[in-house]
Amino acid sequence: MKDRILHLITESTMVFLSVLSAFFISSWAEQKKEEKYQATILDHLRNDVKKDSANIIDAIEVVGVQHDSLTILLNDLYVMNHKKANANIYCTYFCYNVFEPTTSTYQSMLFSGDMKLIDMRKLKSIKDVEEVNQKLRDLHARYQSNIELFRNTFISQYNVERFDFAAVPSDKGIEFWNRLNFLSANVKYYYEALLIAQMKYNNLLADLKVRKS
């Protein structure tokens, strides 16, 4: 009887240990699977951010040149240096027109519930980037609209290749000057927003790099 009880206790212990081992192995495998999935999501997010960061840098270069050129143009017009200003008219009608941030990974995380896999307290910069992206979309649309408006209202009436500010009628001169200042202010605001966006992107890339290491 004693041997039978001992046998039953031994069998019960073995069954318990087997079930416990299976549970821990299953939990370990599930944890590894989730860690791998999380790493994949972060890799996709990192690639999106790198592409957008390069896009922002390109925009800063183009819009920065436009901003500087408009500043020079306005200064030349202010001192009535028409000959020099004529050569700089190009800056009023070109624009950076391919900005479209890549948010597919972020949106996928948001709608699938995968955001819970990311510790947002340690990766709060992702929210900053999403907010700045939305702002840049609005500013870019306004930026393009103002250039199109200026181009269609004024530039289209003149031969840009042989533009001559001195030939602008006096009744159009003040309006031309005001619109040019408004365009310059709009380009400046967009340019400064791009610089802030670049900083936000750099912060997120740094956060993602830390998480990878």
pLDDT tens for residues 165-180? 887 777 777 888 888 8
Instruction: Indicate whether 4 belongs to any domain.
Output: no
Instruction: Indicate whether 140 belongs to any domain.
Output: yes
Instruction: Indicate whether 19 belongs to any domain.
Output: no
pLDDT score for 8: 58
Higher pLDDT, 45 or 185: 185
- The residue segments making up the domain with residue 66 are 42-208
Q: Residue 112: which pLDDT band, with cuts at 50, 70 and 90?
A: low
What is the average pLDDT score of the chain? 77
Domain count within the chain: 1
Greatest pairwise CA separation for the chain in angstroms: 119
> pLDDT digit string (tens) for 34-47?
667 777 777 777 78
Q: Residue 87: which pLDDT band, with cuts at 50, 70 and 90?
A: confident
Instruction: Indicate whether 3 belongs to any domain.
Output: no
Instruction: Indicate whether 138 belongs to any domain.
Output: yes
Distance CA 126, CA 203 (A): 9
How many CA atoms within 13 Å lie on the side-chain side of 149? 12
Reported residue count of the chain is 213
As a whole number, mean pLDDT of residues 117-121 equals: 55
Higher pLDDT, 199 or 102: 199
Q: How far is CA 112 from CA 11, 41, 131, 186, in A?
A: 45, 12, 20, 38
Say whether pLDDT at 138 is over 60.
yes
Instruction: Indicate whether 60 belongs to any domain.
Output: yes
Instruction: Indicate whether 12 belongs to any domain.
Output: no
Say whether pLDDT at 113 is over 90.
no
pLDDT score for 187: 93
Listed range (18-22, 39-43, 175-179, 187-191) with the worst mean pLDDT: 18-22
pLDDT score for 43: 78
pLDDT score for 67: 94
Q: Residue 118: which pLDDT band, with cuts at 50, 70 and 90?
A: low
Dihedral angle of Cα 36, 39, 45, 49, to the nearest 10 degrees: -150
Instruction: Indicate whether 6 belongs to any domain.
Output: no
